[in-house]
Structure 1
Amino acid sequence: MANGKRILRLTAIVIALAGVLGFQLEAMGMFDAASEAAGKPDVIMIDTIAKLESLEQPAVVFRHDLHTKALKDQGMSCESCHKKDAKGTLTLSFDRLEGEDRAGMSASGLKDMYHNGCISCHVKTEEKGFKTGPKTGECRSCHQERPEAADRVPAGMDNMLHFVHWDSKVIPADAGKDTNCGACHKKAGEEDSWRFSEAAKTEPLKDVFHNQCVTCHESLIEKKADRSGPVQCAGCHGEKETAERAVELAKNLKAMSGTLPRLPRKQPDAVLLAPEVKPDAADQKPTGMAPVAFDHKLHEAQVDSCLTCHKDGVNAKLNASYEALHDVNDSATCVGCHVQAQKKPQCAGCHDARPAAKVLSQDSCATCHNVGVGQKTGMMSMMASAPVNPAAMSKEEKQAEAARVIADRPQTQAMVAEKDIPEFVTIGALADQYRPSKMPHRKIVMALYKGMQGDKLAATFHATPEAVCAGCHHNAPATLTPPKCASCHGKPFETEGKPGLKAAYHGQCMTCHKEMKLEKPAATNCVACHEKKTN
C-alpha cells in the first residue's frame, strides 16, 4: 500500500516536471523565435482582435517570408491566405476581403478564423511531410511575450524603379500606344492619378500600393513571366535586398546606355518661379523680387524621385511660399538642398565654418532671383525695375524666358589666373615654440578649384574668380588682396565676440582638413605645418 502511494507521488512529480519542462521548452522556442525575428522586414504583428477587445494572449509574431517559402515549396500561392476581390485584386487581410472585420465580425469570430485557418494549414502541411508550424495547444509558439518590431526601409517608386517598369516588355503596352503607362496610371495625361486614385481617398496609401503592386507581381509569377517584382516584404523593405537590387539595376543600366533615360511625362526643361502679381488685387503688393529661372531638367537628374520636390503629387501645384523654398534645415527645399550639397568633402572645407545665415546673403539670392534685371549686381540684381509677372505670360513664354536665363549661366568655374595666386604664405604672427608656418597657398587654392570642376551648382554660385577666396577670408570683400586675419582676430581671448587669432588659425585649418577628409597632413600633426624650435 505504502509502495503504491509512493509510486503515485513519483508519477505526479514526473508529470509536473514534464509539464514544466514542456512549458520551458515552448518558452525557450518562443524566445528563440522572437530573437530570430528581431530586425527583419517581414515581421508582422497580428493584433487585429485588440481593436475589438483586450487581448488574452500577447500579439502573434508572424514571419511572412517563412510562410511564403513554405507555400512555394508545396506548390501553393498567396491566395492560400489572401482572397481576391471581384476585380481580381489581392487583399492584405488574412482569409477575408477588405472591410469584413469592420462589418460585424466579432472578436470571437476573428479568433476562430485565425486559429482554424492557421492550425488546420499546419496540420495539412505536416501530413504532406513538410516542416510545419505550431498546432493546437502550442499557444506560446505564436503569441510572443517579447514582440519584436520589424526593421523596414522605406519603399518607393524612385526614378530607376520607375524606368524599369516603363521599359518592361512584360507589362503590355496601352492600346494604340507604344508605352505601358496605363497599367498603373488609369487616366491618360494625369501622371499621378493612380497614386491619388479614389481608393487612396478611403484606404491607407500603403494598402493601395500593396494591393495593386503585389497583385500584379503575383499575377506575373503565375504566368511564368521572364521578369516579375517582389511579393515578399524584404524585396521592397529589406535593407540588404534593396541595396542589392539597386546595384543590379545600375549594372544593367550601365550595360545598356550608362544614363537613366528621362521618363516621357511631358515635363518642361525650364520653369519660371515667382510670386504672381495680380494687378486687379487691391490688397496684394508687388514684392519687387525678380523671378527665378529653374533648370528643371538638371534638377530632375539629381533626385531619386519627382516626389522629392513635388511632395503632394506631380500634378499638384508646387507650394512656392518663402518657407517652402528657403528653409535651410529642410533638404527638400531649394536652399536646404543646396546646403546639403555644401556638405560634400570638396565643399565642406569652406562651407562648414560659415554660419547658415550666410546661405541667404544678398549676393547668393541674386544668383537665382535675376530674371528681367539685366547685368545688375548686388541687392539690385534681385529687384526688377519692371517686375516680371508670370501671370501675364503664356506657358510657352515663361519656359522660353527661363531657358534663356539658364543658357546664360556660367558652365565652368571662374578662376583666378594661377600666376596671380601667391605660391606660399608665411604665417608667423604667433611664432613662439614653433617656427613660422609656410603654407602652400597656391596648391590649396588650386585643389579647391579642382574640386569644383564639373559642378554646375558651384559654377553658378561662385560666379566671380575671387569667390573661392571667401572660404578662408570670410567677412571680407572678395578680392585678391584681402585683409590679414589679425585685422579682426586679436590675441587669444581678447577679441570680444570672435575667436582669438590662434584659435581662428587652428579652427580654420583643422576644421577644413577634417571636413575635407584629408589624411595628410593630419589635423593634429603640429610639426607638419610648423617645425618646432630646437632651442
Structure 2
Amino acid sequence: MANGKRVLRFSAILIALAGVLVFHLEAMGMLDSTAEAEGRPDVIMIDTIARFGELEQPAAVFKHDVHTKALKAQGKSCEACHSKDAKGNMTLTFKGVEGDGTSELGASDIKKIYHDGCITCHNDTAEKNLESGPAVGECRSCHQEKPETGVMRADAGMDNVLHYAHWSSKEIPADKGKDTNCGACHKKSGEEDSWRVAAEKSGEPLDEVFHSKCVTCHQSLADKKAEKTGPVKCAGCHGTAEIADRKAEEAKKLAAMGGVLPRLPRKQPDLLMVMPKLEEGAKIDDKPSGMAPVAFNHKFHEENVDSCRTCHHKSVQACSSCHTQLGVEKDGVVSLDQAMHVVMSDRSCIGCHAKEQEKPECAGCHSLRTADKPASDASCKTCHVTPRDAEGNALALAGAPKEMKEAVAGQIIAERPQTHAVPAVDAIPEFVTIGAIADKFQASKMPHRKIVLKMLDNIKDSKLASTFHATPEAVCGACHHNSPATLTPPKCSSCHAVATDLVSGKPGLKAAYHGQCMRCHTEMKLEKPAATNCVACHEKKTN
C-alpha cells in the first residue's frame, strides 16, 4: 500500500512537471500550430545593436504572430509594442528604439529598452497566470546560438486579383467626390506608384513603407469589426501555405467572373500607338525614330499580366513619358527603342515575348533562335507598321489626337492574323529518312508529318504564334534554321559537312542531327525517346 502511494505521488509529480514543461514550450511558441520545420514567416531576428559592433549574444528570435495572439487574448493591440506617427501610420520598430527622435541612443540604451519592455511585459503576464515568455536570467530562450525555428518568408505581391479585392472593396470608402477609393492608398492621381517611388528615392526601406501603411489599414478595419480586413499576421501575406490558399480562392472567384477581371477604373486606353515623344524642336513626322510606330492592344495585355507593374515599373504613365527617342543621359533612362527591345528585361516587348518562348510548346523551336536576332525584316514589320489612309498615303500621327491614334491602332490590329498559318497536310512529307552517315545503325525513319502536326496543335491557341507565324513556312524554320522560308528546304547536309568545321565552328552532320533533335526533346520536356535510347530512332545493324 505504501509503495502504491509513493508511485501515485511520483506520477503526480511527473504529470505536474510535464504540465509546466508544456506551458513553458507553449509560451515560447514551440508548440504553436503555425510552426514550420523549415522556418516561419513571422520570425524576426532582432539584432538592432549589430550596427554598433559584434554582438555579445546571438540575435534574439522573436515570433511575431505568437506575440500578437497573446496580446489579443489580453485585450491589447499593436500599440503595446509599436508607436504611431502623426499620420496614424504604425512604426515597425519597437517603442523607443527608433522613430521617436532617439537616433542618438547607443547600444546599451537600445539593449535596455528591449529588455525592460519585453521582460516587464512577460513578468506582468505571468503574474496574471497567463501564458508568458522568458523571464530574467533565461537569456538563451531568446538569444539562441542555433535557432530552433528559422525565417521563411514568401514574397508578398499585389497582383491584379489582389488589387481588385482592394479597389472593389466596400470596406474602403470612396474618395471624396469620386466613385473610386484609390486615394486610400495612392495619394496622387495619375502617379499611383508615387509613395513606392518616393520611398525608393529617399532610401526609406520599401518593406517598412508597405508594412506601415498596409498593416495599419488592416488593423484599423479589424478594430472597426469590418467583414473583410486583410491580414494582420505575418503568415497572411508571407506564409507559403496561406498564399497558396489565397491563390486557390482567387482562382475560384476569377473563374466565376469568366476568367477575366473587371478593368481597373482609371480610364486607360484599350488601344494605342507606341511611338517616341517628339523632342523639343523636332519636326512632326509619322515615325520620328526612323521606325514605324507600333499598334498596341493594351486591353489584351492588361488581361494577361499579373499586374500593371509588369510593364509600368516606375509609374503608370505612357512609356514615352520617361523613355524618349534618345533617352535621358543624366537620369540613366534608356531610349524607347532600347526599353522595348532589350531581351534580358522582362518588361520589354522582346524580353516578355522571349519568356513566352521558353514554354515547352514553344521552346523546342525557339531555343535554337536568339530572340534579339529576328529571322527576317518581316519579323520587325509584324509590329512596326506605317499607318496609311484610304489612298495609301502615310499618316502623320505625332501630335495627332488621341482618338485618331486609337482608331488607327484598332485598324492595324484587326488586320493582323487571328489564326495560326498552317501548311496543307499533303505538303508535309509523311516520313523523312535520315541515313546519309548510317554506320552502326540503320537509317532513321522520322515520322515527319506527325511531329509537325503535333507542334502546330500545341500552339494553335497562342495569340503570339498567330501574329508572328504569319506564313505556313514559319514552322519549318524550327529545324531548318538557316534556310529560306520554304516548304521544300534543302537537306541538312547542304550546310553541315560530315566533320565539324574547326574554322567556323559549324557542327558536323551527326552532331547537327543529334543536337537538333535531342535539344528540342529536352526543351519540350519530352520523356520519350530518351537521349540515350539510340534504337528508339534508328535500329542497330545486325552485321
Q: TM-score, normalised by structure 2?
A: 0.83
Q: Which moved more, 1:77-86 or 1:183-192?
A: 183-192
Distance in 1 (alpha carbons) for counterparts of 2:515 and 2:141: 59
Distance in 2 (alpha carbons) for counterparts of 1:526 and 1:202: 59
Give the drift of 1:194: 4.9
Q: Which residue does the alignment assign to 2:173? A: 172
1:499 aligns with 2:507: yes
Q: Which residue does the alignment assign to 1:489? A: 496
Q: Which residue does the alignment assign to 2:448? A: 441
Distance in 2 (alpha carbons) for counterparts of 1:372 and 1:49: 64
Q: Which residue does the alignment assign to 1:238? A: 239
- The one-letter code sitting in structure 2 at the alignment partner of 1:345 is P
Distance in 1 (alpha carbons) for counterparts of 2:256 and 2:515: 47
Aligned to 1:62, what secondary structure does the other structure show? strand
The answer (yes or no) to whether the contact 2:445–2:537 under 8 Å persists in 1 is yes
1:125 aligns with 2:125: yes
Equivalent residues in 2 for 1:52-451 (5 A)?
Answer: 55-96=55-96, 99-146=99-146, 150-196=151-197, 201=202, 203-278=204-279, 280-281=281-282, 287-315=289-317, 317-319=321-323, 320-359=335-374, 361-372=376-387, 390-451=397-458
Q: TM-score, normalised by structure 1?
A: 0.84
Count of matched residue pairs: 497
Distance in 1 (alpha carbons) for counterparts of 2:127 and 2:30: 27
Distance in 1 (alpha carbons) for counterparts of 2:313 and 2:76: 40
Aligned to 1:438, what secondary structure does the other structure show? strand
Distance in 2 (alpha carbons) for counterparts of 1:30 and 1:245: 25
Distance in 1 (alpha carbons) for counterparts of 2:340 and 2:30: 50
Distance in 2 (alpha carbons) for counterparts of 1:162 and 1:459: 31
Give the drift of 1:38: 5.9
Give the drift of 1:471: 0.2
Rate the CA distance shift 1:202–1:520 in 2: closer, same or farther, 3 A: closer
2:533 pairs with 507, 525, 531, which one? 525
Question: For residues 264-314 of structure 1, what are the alpha-carbon distances to aligned partners after superposition, in whole Å with 9 as ceiling and x for unaligned?
Answer: 1211112212234558349x9954211111221121122111111111121
Question: For residues 50-70 of structure 1, what are the alpha-carbon distances to aligned partners after superposition, in whole Å with 9 as ceiling and x for unaligned?
Answer: 445664433322221221222
Rate the CA distance shift 1:198–1:462 in 2: closer, same or farther, 3 A: closer
Rate the CA distance shift 1:410–1:99 in 2: closer, same or farther, 3 A: same
- The one-letter code sitting in structure 2 at the alignment partner of 1:398 is K
Distance in 2 (alpha carbons) for counterparts of 1:138 and 1:392: 73
Rate the CA distance shift 1:443–1:306 in 2: closer, same or farther, 3 A: same
Rate the CA distance shift 1:200–1:99 in 2: closer, same or farther, 3 A: farther
The answer (yes or no) to whether the contact 2:180–2:265 under 8 Å persists in 1 is no
Rate the CA distance shift 1:276–1:221 in 2: closer, same or farther, 3 A: closer
Give the drift of 1:531: 2.1
- The one-letter code sitting in structure 2 at the alignment partner of 1:185 is H
Over the aligned positions, Cα root-mean-square deviation in angstroms equals: 3.3
What percentage of aligned pairs have identical amino acids? 60
The answer (yes or no) to whether the contact 2:340–2:350 under 8 Å persists in 1 is yes
Give the drift of 1:359: 4.1
Q: Which moved more, 1:337-346 or 1:492-501?
A: 492-501
Q: Which moved more, 1:429-438 or 1:55-64?
A: 55-64
The answer (yes or no) to whether the contact 1:191–1:265 under 8 Å persists in 2 is no
Aligned to 1:45, what secondary structure does the other structure show? strand
Question: For residues 467-524 of structure 1, what are the alpha-carbon distances to aligned partners after superposition, in whole Å with 9 as ceiling and x for unaligned?
Answer: 1100011111010110111000111335752111111111111111121122333333
Distance in 1 (alpha carbons) for counterparts of 2:273 and 2:417: 19
- The one-letter code sitting in structure 2 at the alignment partner of 1:224 is K
Q: Which moved more, 1:91-100 or 1:514-523?
A: 91-100
The answer (yes or no) to whether the contact 2:191–2:315 under 8 Å persists in 1 is no
Q: Which moved more, 1:174-183 or 1:502-511?
A: 174-183
Rate the CA distance shift 1:385–1:253 in 2: closer, same or farther, 3 A: closer
Q: Which moved more, 1:520-529 or 1:306-315?
A: 520-529
Rate the CA distance shift 1:325–1:108 in 2: closer, same or farther, 3 A: same
The answer (yes or no) to whether the contact 1:31–1:146 under 8 Å persists in 2 is no
- The one-letter code sitting in structure 2 at the alignment partner of 1:210 is H
Distance in 1 (alpha carbons) for counterparts of 2:279 and 2:343: 29
Distance in 2 (alpha carbons) for counterparts of 1:453 and 1:172: 45
Gaps of 5+ in 1: 1-25, 376-383
Give the drift of 1:260: 1.9
Distance in 1 (alpha carbons) for counterparts of 2:29 and 2:361: 51
The answer (yes or no) to whether the contact 1:122–1:134 under 8 Å persists in 2 is yes
Gaps of 5+ in 2: 1-24, 324-334
Question: For residues 112-156 of structure 1, what are the alpha-carbon distances to aligned partners after superposition, in whole Å with 9 as ceiling and x for unaligned?
Answer: 221111001111222233332111112232223357873323222
Give the drift of 1:458: 0.7
Q: Which residue does the alignment assign to 1:13? A: none
Give the drift of 1:49: 2.9
Q: Which moved more, 1:435-444 or 1:101-110?
A: 101-110
Q: Which residue does the alignment assign to 1:14? A: none
Give the drift of 1:106: 4.3
Aligned to 2:522, what secondary structure does the other structure show? helix
Aligned to 1:100, what secondary structure does the other structure show? coil
Aligned to 1:391, what secondary structure does the other structure show? coil
Aligned to 1:271, what secondary structure does the other structure show? strand
Aligned to 2:541, what secondary structure does the other structure show? coil
